[in-house]
Amino acid sequence: MHLFLSICTFLNILTAIPTTDVEMENDENLESVIIEVEGNPQEHKAYLETYYPYIEVIAVYEKLFNGLALKAAPEKLEKISELDFVKTINTAKTYEATTDLPSNLTEANPNTVMPGDLNTTNYTGKGVKVGVVDTGIDYNHPDLSKNFIRGYDLVDLDDDPMETTPEQGMPTLHGTHVAGIIAGNGELTGVAPDADIYAYRALGPGGMGSSVQVIAAMEKAVADGVDVINLSLGNTVNGPDYPTSVAVNRAADLGVSVVIANGNDGPDNWTVGAPATATKAIGVGAAENAEQVPFLYEGRADKKIALYPMQGAIPWQLDRSYPIVDMSETKENPRGKIALIERSDIPFYDMAKAAEEEGAVAVAIYNNEKGMFQGMVENEDDPINIPVVALTKQDGTWLLKEMEKHALNLETTYQESDAGIANFSSRGPVAVNWHIKPDILAPGTNIKSTVPDGYQELQGTSMAAPHITGVVALIKEAHPNWSNEQIFGAIKTTATQYKDENDVPIAPNIQGMGMVQPGEAIAAKTIIEQPELAFGKMDDYLDTKKVNMTIENTTNKRQTYVFHVPKKQQGMSWKLPQTFTLKKNESKTIPIELSITTSLLDDGIHQGWLTLEGEDEAFQLPYLFVNKTADNPKAMGFDFALKPFSDNQYAYQLYVTDPTKHVEVDLYDPESLIYQRTLLEADDLTVGMNEGELKQAEIGEPGSYTALITVYLEDGTFESYETPVYIE
């Protein structure tokens, strides 16, 4: 399954063992693949070298998954698909360039956030090795060149982790931006400016890559001895056992700290995706600073529409109301109006330029899929001189429906936003194990950092995660002997809880422990290693669950702690050790027990906060449980594609979160939504990832379709969701 990385929003560790650095002749005619294998990969390496000498084994992976990296002529690689031990094949794809790299951001922006401002300590991350698994980095950038040590390209399987250039396909900049937030060391200062950067290009043209490439990159990072890995990438599978999440947990077991972006599919619950669902990593949500935010306002419906400015466009500062017209289908004249356009394969710049040339005063491009996105319309040679913004699909379709009823005039209003959680930041909990995510918040909006040939502002949890990676580097410098559990525990224990305008704490599945405080984490007198209390699903009439929490006194004096007795709630009762004492430098495991009467509580998520009082500070501990059932998606992550080196065999994947009896995938015409045919049916699916294959003769005519995936659960209910499918 592919991981798609949006460079404007969102965008462990396996050990790669190099076998040779010999350059092969006519390298430009060779293709690189990473295969997953059954059994011992070292034995398979020896087999290939003996019986397939024309295939070069570049690397062996055996810590986080079993696999081999291979290079050969495409017609030679086709032969390996017939081998019994080959489980999956991942090809390194290339794409045609469709946009230009952005130039320097020169406009003054009062809302700009500089990553170095988070570090108020005297530590700089000196001597700490940071692995950036991403789109590669521009290691020639003057703010990164001093810190860059080395890296590896898991797309082309070579030692050059440079970002994708226009000559190679759709260019990228995401990894460079992430690296600057962590360890920029020049005109722009990162959170940990003296940390060493190790870069791994796992995502190729357009910021796209596969799970196998990401896992292989993590393994290579582990082999290189990195201390912390940043993963500002992910997918939409809200489950704890997706392969990348499993690999992250294995990396953590090897002592590497792994920091992961929570995702940009908020504000709905259950939107955190793998690998941020990994239990042993720290998942990061995006906080936003207070700022003046423009909105579109439609008075008749009293409707506010959020605007997400495109990079390279002038600020949205319309001084009166303007009519809005749809340029996607109706091709109405936009002169003197706001042009509404649906996102498509056409570059954002081309869309906006066409509207500007026809006289539009502004352009609003709405998403063609769920969630927020951010785009760029930079062009130094022919810049766009009108505002260009992104809208959600929900807002775009609302405008279209209203425009069918009557002409619309939209006013621009401004609102002072409070510091809080960014609307796009993905929410938890995690399905199946019901854990709280995110774990922590960090700055994620208007973050200025390095990009190839300059600097740029981006936003997303992709920008929040490297702030935490930088903080981990600071803590590792200050406390080189601390374990992952101590480092993450210190970060969580000392976080600042966010509250709403009514002074009520924001829900745990939105903020985790709250906003990171680097100085306080380094100086933590108390570390709670499991401060997020996940009690799972409660099914019995009278159900009791216990969570063990480890608490450490890091000082040289005794400390006494007291739990506040929670306010009594019908159907819930707590068993807490009200008072306990820890000797100097002592750790103790504390049991926390929750009992509920399921019939007295509503079905679904229940969450809140417990207060633990120390001698001179209080700790807010989030808890969460699910009563009987929840509104989590029951199926997700459907992927359907032609198998590599095959012209008649297709592979599919589907992740289910609840016991499922039957699944059916029906195809519809994407325009008329007329039923076409049933693509597949399957019975007795397992909770987690389900995989299978279909032959060309079984799937029917090629083309683009809307697939309706319906899962029939064992409890007698069913659930459906739609996703686009393309059959080659």
- Confidence (pLDDT) at 90: 64
Q: Which of the 8 DSSP states describes residue 499? A: B
- 639 close to 692: Cβ distance less than 8 angstroms: no
- Say how far apart CA 132 and CA 115 lie, in whole Å: 16
Give the residue from 507, 375, 365, 481 showing the smallest Cα distance to 428. Answer: 507
For residue 174, indicate whether it is catalytic.
Answer: yes
Beta strands of 114-213 (E only): which ranges? 129-134, 148-153, 196-201, 208-210
Dihedral of CA atoms 569, 573, 579, 580 in degrees, nearest 10, equals -140
Q: Tell me the two tokens of residue 322.
A: 């303007």
Burial of 670 (0-12, 13-18, 19+ CB in 10 A): middle
Q: Under 8 Å CB-to-CB from 544, ≥6 apart: which residues?
A: 593, 594, 595, 596
Beta strands of 299-433 (E only): which ranges? 303-306, 308-309, 322-326, 338-342, 362-366, 388-391, 409-417, 420-421
Would the pTM of this model clear 0.85, i.e. be above it? no
What DSSP string runs through 683-697? EEEPSEEEEEEEEHH
- Say how far apart CA 561 and CA 580 lie, in whole Å: 5
- Confidence (pLDDT) at 692: 86
- Confidence (pLDDT) at 27: 55
Pure H helices in 66-173? 74-77
Measuring CA to CA, how many Å separate 104 from each of 145, 184, 431?
18, 16, 41
Measuring CA to CA, how many Å separate 81 from each of 52, 114, 215, 345, 493?
13, 49, 21, 32, 50
* Cross-strand pairs, 724: 706
Q: Tell me the two tokens of residue 340.
A: 């509404």
Give the residue from 222, 234, 313 showing the smallest Cα distance to 266. Answer: 234
Cα angle for residues 422, 340, 336 (degrees, 5° grid): 120
- Confidence (pLDDT) at 10: 36
Q: How far apart are the first and last CA of the chain?
A: 16
- 425 close to 262: Cβ distance less than 8 angstroms: yes
Residue type, 21: D
Half-sphere exposure of 684 (CA within 13 A, CB side): 0
CB atoms within 10 A of CB 333: 13
- 509 close to 605: Cβ distance less than 8 angstroms: yes
- 180 close to 189: Cβ distance less than 8 angstroms: no
Q: Phi and psi at residue 713, in whole multiples of 5°?
A: -85, 160
Among 141, 174, 177, 606, the active-site one is 174
- Confidence (pLDDT) at 28: 56
For residue 134, indicate whether it is catalytic.
Answer: yes
Name residue, tokens 């909990």: 429
Among 224, 245, 462, 606, the active-site one is 462
Measuring CA to CA, how many Å separate 415 from each of 127, 319, 344, 559?
44, 15, 30, 46
443 cis-preceded (ω within 30 degrees of 0): no
Q: Tell me the two tokens of residue 264.
A: 């940009």
Quick one: how many helices (H) and strands (E) in the chain?
A: 12, 41
- Say how far apart CA 305 and CA 324 lie, in whole Å: 13
- Confidence (pLDDT) at 124: 98
Among 44, 134, 138, 224, the active-site one is 134
Q: Which domains does the chain have, with CATH numbers?
A: 291-417 (3.50.30.30), 525-627 (2.60.40.2310), 635-727 (2.60.40.10)
Q: What is the mean pLDDT of each run of 10 residues along the chain (728 residues)?
A: 35 31 51 84 90 89 86 82 79 30 43 93 97 97 97 93 92 95 97 98 89 91 97 87 88 96 91 91 92 85 89 83 84 88 91 93 92 80 90 93 90 82 92 94 94 90 96 98 97 95 93 97 96 93 94 96 89 92 95 94 94 92 94 86 77 88 91 89 88 85 90 90 85
